[in-house]
């Protein structure tokens, strides 16, 4: 898993404050920390829709499917119709929490984890062998990709405004989120704090 910032609205917090003061004669006031904090505390979320951030995420198809459910964002993802996948993400197995379907427990010993990873590698090696044979036989990538497992790697770009990012981070850093997705959300949160320090402080993130 990796996450990195691609682009962010220049002077994003200053821009949001400027727009928030559309009806004020002091629109250029450089002191905007209290204003943004007030907007957040009183639910004036529309102000936060005027700045955006784009991040690059490298993960598995299993996790990208979860991320794509956040439909308020704009996405661009690596396409297996045009390019051949090159990476596989093999995660440690965790035991199902019988009290909470949205939780899993790290209770397997190292030997079990090693056996699991070997089984996954054997499976993915076989899948890639069939895939590569299909490509060599002239089968289109859009057809051959059907054999590839969900642990195959992908790269995606995720663009959203500050309001969307706040909601995503609050939701996906919660303990009910799958661990591998939560790690991505935590990494995005760190990037967000660096780009939006005033907003992050108002949210008690900084």
Q: Which of 4, 71, 172, 182 is catalytic?
A: 172
Residue 137: both structure tokens together: 């036989």
Total number of residues shown for the chain: 206
Question: Is 172 marked active-site?
Answer: yes
Q: How far apart are CA 9 and CA 28, in angstroms?
A: 18
Task: Identify whether 109 is part of a domain.
Answer: no
Q: What is the pLDDT of residue 150?
A: 95
3-state SS assignment for residue 188: helix
3-state SS assignment for residue 61: helix
3-state SS assignment for residue 152: strand
Q: Break the chain down into helix, strand, coil percent, rounded to 5.
A: 50, 15, 35
Task: Identify whether 117 is part of a domain.
Answer: no
Q: How far apart are CA 81 and CA 180, in angstroms?
A: 25
Instruction: Specify the pTM.
Output: 0.93
Task: Identify whether 137 is part of a domain.
Answer: no
Task: Identify whether 138 is part of a domain.
Answer: no
Residue 63 lies in domain: 2-79+152-202
- 198 HSE (CA, 13 A, CB side): 19
Task: Identify whether 144 is part of a domain.
Answer: no
Domains in the chain: how many in total?
1
Task: Identify whether 196 is part of a domain.
Answer: yes
Q: CATH number, domain at 67?
A: 3.30.1360.170
3-state SS assignment for residue 192: helix
Sign of CA dihedral 68, 85, 55, 166: positive
Using an 8 Å Cβ cutoff, are 20 and 119 in contact?
no
| Degrees, nearest 5: CA angle 20-41-73 | 65
Q: pLDDT tens digits for the chain (206 residues)?
A: 999 999 999 999 999 999 999 988 889 888 999 999 999 999 999 999 999 999 999 999 999 999 999 999 999 999 999 998 889 999 999 999 999 888 999 999 999 999 999 999 999 999 999 999 999 999 999 999 999 999 999 999 999 999 999 999 999 999 999 999 999 999 999 999 999 999 999 999 97
Burial state string for 148-168 with b = 16 or more CB within 10 A and e = fewer than 16: beebbbbbbbbbbbbbbbbeb
């Amino acid at each position: 898993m990796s996450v990195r910032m691609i682009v962010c609205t220049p002077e994003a917090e200053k821009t949001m404050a400027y727009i928030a003061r559309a009806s004020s004669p002091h629109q250029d006031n450089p002191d905007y920390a209290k204003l943004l904090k007030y907007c957040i505390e009183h639910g004036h979320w529309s102000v936060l829709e005027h700045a955006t951030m784009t991040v690059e995420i490298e993960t598995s198809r299993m996790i990208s499917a979860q991320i794509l459910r956040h439909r308020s964002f704009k996405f661009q993802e690596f396409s297996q119709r045009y390019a051949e996948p090159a990476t596989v993400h093999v995660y440690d197995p965790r035991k199902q929490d019988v009290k909470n379907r949205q939780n899993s427990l790290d209770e397997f010993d190292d030997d079990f984890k090693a056996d699991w990873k070997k089984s996954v590698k054997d499976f993915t090696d076989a899948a890639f062998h069939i895939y590569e044979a299909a490509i060599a036989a002239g089968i289109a990538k859009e057809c051959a990709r059907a054999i590839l497992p969900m642990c195959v790697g992908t790269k995606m770009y995720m663009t959203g405004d500050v309001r969307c990012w706040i909601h995503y981070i609050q939701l996906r850093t919660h303990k009910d989120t799958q661990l591998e997705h939560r790690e991505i959300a935590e990494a995005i949160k760190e990037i967000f704090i660096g780009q939006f320090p005033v907003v992050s402080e108002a949210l008690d993130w900084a």
